[in-house]
Amino acid sequence: MSIVTPGILPASVLLQQKRPDWLTEWGRFAAAFSAADLPPEALQRARLVLLDSIAVIAAGMQEPELSSLLAQANYAGGGSAVAIGAGRALPPLLAAFANGTAGTMLELDEGNQYARGHPAIHVVPAALAAAPRDGAALLGAIALGYELGARIGIASKLRVTMHPHGTWGTPAAFLSVAHLRGAAAETMIQGLNIASSFGLSTSRRTMLEGATVRNSYAGFSNQLGLMAWDLVQSGFTGETDGIGAVYGGIIAEDFSQSAMTEDLGTRWEIARNYFKRHAACRYTHGALDALAELRQRLPDLAPEQIERIEVDTYVWAAQLDLPAPSNMLSAKFSIPFALATTLLHGSASVPAFRPPALQDEAVRALAARVVVREDAALTARLPGLRPARVALILRDGTRHQAEVLTNRGDTEDPYTEDDILQKFRELAEPVWGAAHAAALIQAVRGVDRTGGLDALTPLLAAPPRSLAR
């Protein structure tokens, strides 16, 4: 060997690596897959994931940043793909970016606790922009891309300074597109290796600081997934094991090949997802759910009676201790603010994090009286559980405490379908009105029937009420 510097291998040694068996197995599995292979519970969850994603995208599309983005010159030309909630058609690359970005604006997109991220918002916009041939293929593409992305998240350990958005979502988006294009196994493998190079250098600090560039990360994953398809079709190639290299030592560590194929085709990650009702980071939800228990016990509690609030929780939640966030995004990643605004406004709703709530002196004063601490014993219960313990210490000296082990909506304590439909209406009706929202529910329920996608697409393309007036 001609290199003496430790840790550096010459190409003659390094390139002896062969394609890993797990990647070959995944290529064969994905090429042979169809929506008919999904068990009923996974297929039904895929419908709900699609419905939920439509609502969070449409609601997020009303935010001022998205309105300004779509007014930029690059978005003026029209196209074949729908920007949901904008009443606009865009080129597929731009529609995928806009929809992926809009879907994270309100911090209400679904997720997977085992993957430690949000798979659906990284694949649904790409699948829709890829012009699916029918509704069954669309649901299959969503479930398949979701599966790959979630498994990469499970198999690897992202660097703690990174935000999970915009990382393993890109190979997931590519696979959704490749499925819709009827790709062969070798094409899928080459495309996954290409897409593995497209993960962003995401910073975890963006969410804490309120840097809204963070909201674009999922948009880029969807856009880059489509681009990876164009590249592989044009003859570009990836490295032999791009996913293993990137997620085993570049942006993540400890990549477990066995996790990529364990129970493949029988355990579907989309069926283990969670939905969100609190419009805040998932790491705040345990504390918010514990607070809900305390409010039930103390129905007459007034915020001014509270001397302080103590929160003990796992490490990633304990990091969210900023008492005075600067904008809506950073407020959604602050346990002190989330608890205070919930107590003052009744729930952790979308308005509870908007500027009027941020500027509310009563909310800010209460948030300043919240103490957040890590409990190592609670951290040890990750990722299966998301525990939090909340204590209200009142000015009369009494102490009231509640503890939860899971978040509402997790696999262990799932929301009902009625809960998810209610969330959909709360988000979709302000955009399109009640009748249109009801029509969307029916269209998604029947999307995999003959003609189902033809019924859904015009509903997604409808302009919001703000433009229809």
Give per-residue pLDDT as tens, 311-335: 999 999 999 999 999 999 999 999 9
Average pLDDT over residues 157-174: 96
Could you tell me if 292 and 268 lie in one domain? Answer: no
How far, in Å, CA of 436 to CA of 458, rounded? 11
Residue 383 per-residue DSSP state: T
Q: Residue 215: which pLDDT band, with cuts at 50, 70 and 90?
A: very high
Picking from 251, 274, 297, the residue at the C-terminal end of a domain is: 274
Could you tell me if 249 and 329 lie in one domain? Answer: no
Prediction pTM value: 0.96
The CATH code of the domain that includes 212 is: 1.10.4100.10
Could you tell me if 239 and 151 lie in one domain? Answer: yes
Picking from 345, 376, 404, the residue at the C-terminal end of a domain is: 404
Distance of CA 321 to the CA centre of its chain: 22
Average pLDDT, the chain: 96
- Give CA separation, 293 vs 283, 392, 403, in Å: 17, 11, 9
Residue 443 in any domain: the answer is: no
Picking from 274, 300, 335, the residue at the C-terminal end of a domain is: 274
Could you tell me if 368 and 244 lie in one domain? Answer: no
Give per-residue pLDDT as tens, 345-384: 999 999 999 999 999 999 999 999 999 999 999 999 998 8
How far, in Å, CA of 92 to CA of 90, rounded? 6
Neighbouring residues of 419: CB distance < 8 A, sequence distance ≥ 6: 275, 277
Could you tell me if 317 and 344 lie in one domain? Answer: yes
Could you tell me if 262 and 292 lie in one domain? Answer: no
Could you tell me if 143 and 52 lie in one domain? Answer: yes
**HSE on the CB side for 403, CA within 13 Å?**
9
Give per-residue pLDDT as tens, 68-91: 999 999 999 899 999 999 999 999
Could you tell me if 246 and 316 lie in one domain? Answer: no
Q: Which helix (H) or strand (E) holds 124?
A: helix 124-129
Residue 447 in any domain: the answer is: no
- Comparing CA positions, the residue from 394, 238, 381 lying closest to residue 302 is 394
The CATH code of the domain that includes 399 is: 3.30.1330.120
Q: Are 323 and 367 in contact (CB under 8 A)?
A: yes
Residue 103 in any domain: the answer is: yes
Residue 231 in any domain: the answer is: yes
Residue 94 in any domain: the answer is: yes
Q: Is the pLDDT of residue 468 over 70?
A: no
- pLDDT, position 1: 54
Domain count, the chain: 2
Indicate the SS3 state at residue 373: strand
Residue 165 per-residue DSSP state: T
Residue 418 in any domain: the answer is: no
Could you tell me if 83 and 210 lie in one domain? Answer: yes
Reading the block at residue 132, the tokens are: 């699916």
Reading the block at residue 300, the tokens are: 């007459």
Could you tell me if 299 and 261 lie in one domain? Answer: no
Q: Which domain covers residue 355, as residue numbers?
A: 282-404
Q: Residue 17: which pLDDT band, with cuts at 50, 70 and 90?
A: confident
Could you tell me if 208 and 331 lie in one domain? Answer: no
Residue 463 in any domain: the answer is: no
Residue 466 in any domain: the answer is: no
Give per-residue pLDDT as tens, 274-292: 999 999 999 999 999 999 9
CA geometry: angle at 113 spanning 109 and 117, to 5°? 50
Could you tell me if 189 and 243 lie in one domain? Answer: yes
